[in-house]
Structure 1
């Protein structure tokens, strides 16, 4: 009886929050996929249990409005519902991560680089784990971390912030990439002056590498022939492979073994090692799935000298 009563009230709270947000029993019912009469009954039961009216039921009003008691309940319900969602995730994950949910924010180059192998291994160990993956630039990932939309962020050049817990860091070199038949393809290192007047494919201004490239070229007084700007590293690499031009990337790629590209280290102080960081929002309790993912990233970084403070380059070992 006690469990049944609690479950009924929890359902009533969920209906109450939806009605308050939609300001309509009918609209709330559509969102909840139930009949309007069922929503109305839940609200009446909740009002009887609390001994207060939660909504002003004036037919002349354009929409339902909360009473003062309703406003208090809605304020408290917001945190309750969030905690219930977290609790549900944690209880699912106690079952051996079999029904957990991992939400990731990653840079595009990471999505086609190290992420597939990590997720393949996680899926092998936890076949029922679900994933939501946002492929975005680092500022957008930062925003999602702060707003609680993702559990883990994986990307380049996260700014130092008390709002972030950095779980692992790997510093990677910058490389010029060319087609295999390019005159520079067999070089181990290249200076910036050697790419003067080359046809160049730029990452666009939404990507942090764009500004880094522009600043380094301006400081060195080097002019290149920009023939394309794109926010897709996949397209950028494909166009380089086709001989359309050259470009620069951070780190070598682990997954795309079929790509026919030459990687030549850039010998210039303007291209210092760039940090690839695995981060989560500070102060939040990590889910079991995010802990498992972070452990996989730490293990991978450690293979190439990465960690909290160590330096290394994943690409140089390949």
Structure 2
């Protein structure tokens, strides 16, 4: 397809002159001298092949060709201006689409606040939210399937950057009828011999190992009776009497009538929640999301 090479400055000069219908005023408005304006109009007329203005009557008026070109010229200038503005806003992280992975337990703590803060700052950014455990989030980041991960116990992975945003203690998760549920603080050693409900190691290796470490430091190897992929399911299985658990303190927000959450002793272990992204990703949406995440106080 043949495309005429029309310079934007020629179209703009034409549009301004069509409004002013006076070379002197149009040149002043454009911030140039009158001869360069006349040259631009002549070049445009040469490309069209017909005069765009009639100057013979002592006045400047649009010709039929000029009337035909003017709406298209204005549309072109508006589209370019709109495209430049859209490109600027995208470059500054004000528009676009960001894909966010998150661990389900974070819906009980920091996730709503972070998403709310980000939405308030950048309402035109489309967010795609995916619920994923830690290991799948790490894989999805490497595969460019998500842009940001909100995960628990981020692994030390080459190519990824993790910024901690929350540190939680662990609590004991017990059926309400359990003898230890009457205590305010439960010694970890008192859980020896109890069947445990835990996350599989594959879904979150570090937090799984940390829980086992708590038990081993208390002098016993936990007997794992059931596995559950999400902390909500862990609580439900504990309520059903299938065992006890040790879990991040945010699990207390899962309010099940048949479950008691108690502080543990010792309580020195912590689990970390972090924002994770690819270190070489220069997407401005990520930088803006990090600003929102940093602005939200831990809950």
* Range of TM-score over shorter length: 0.5 to 0.7
Aligned to 1:194: 190
| Aligned equivalent of 1:234 | 232
Partner of 2:209: helix, strand, or coil? Answer: helix
Q: Quick check: which has more Rg, 1 or 2? A: 2
Q: Give the superposition deviation at 1:195.
A: 0.9
Q: For the aligned residues, what is the CA RMSD?
A: 3.5
Q: For each residue in 1:166-223, what CA deviation from the matched residue of structure 2 results, as whole angstroms up to 9, or x when unmatched? A: 3443221111122344333353432221112223212122232333333443454325
- Corresponding residue number in structure 1 for 2:219: 221
179-188 or 102-111: bigger deviation: 179-188
User: CA contact under 8 A between 2:99 and 2:146: conserved in structure 1?
Assistant: yes
Q: Aligned partners of 1:169, 1:249: CA distance in 2, in Å? A: 18
1:93·1:100 contact (CA, 8 Å) conserved in 2?
Answer: yes
Unpaired stretches in structure 1, ≥5 consecutive residues:
5-86, 305-313
Change (3 A) 1:237 1:89: farther
Shift of 1:103: 0.9
Contact 1:114-1:253 at 8 Å conserved across structures: no
Q: How many residues align?
A: 217
Matched, 1:179 2:163: no
Q: Secondary structure at the match of 1:185?
A: helix
Residue aligned with 1:211, SS: helix
How far apart are 1:232 and its partner, in Å? 2.3
SS in 1 for 2:181: coil
1:116 counterpart residue number? 112
Cα shift readout 1:46-66 (whole Å, capped 9, x = no counterpart): xxxxxxxxxxxxxxxxxxxxx
Kept in 1: contact 2:93–2:288 (CA 8 A): no
* Aligned equivalents of 2:210, 2:150: Cα separation in 1: 19
Aligned twin of 2:275: 278
- Structure 1: how far apart are the matches of 2:165 and 2:102? 14
Q: Deviations over 1:258-307 (max 9, x none)?
A: 444433233247x622221112211221333x33432232223xx34xxx
Match of residue 260, structure 2, among 259, 262, 280: 262
Counterparts of 1:113 and 1:2, CA distance in 2: 58
**Alpha-carbon spacing, 1:117–1:245, altered in 2? closer, same or farther (3 Å):** farther
Gaps of 5+ in 2: 7-83
- The 2-side partners of 1:186 and 1:180 are apart by 8
d(CA) in 2 for partners of 1:197, 1:282:
44
Following superposition, the deviation at residue 155 of structure 1 comes to 1.2
Q: Distance in 2 between matches of 1:100 and 1:253?
A: 34
Q: What are the equivalent positions in structure 2 for 1:103-182 lying under 5 Å apart?
A: 103-123=99-119, 126-161=122-157, 163-182=159-178
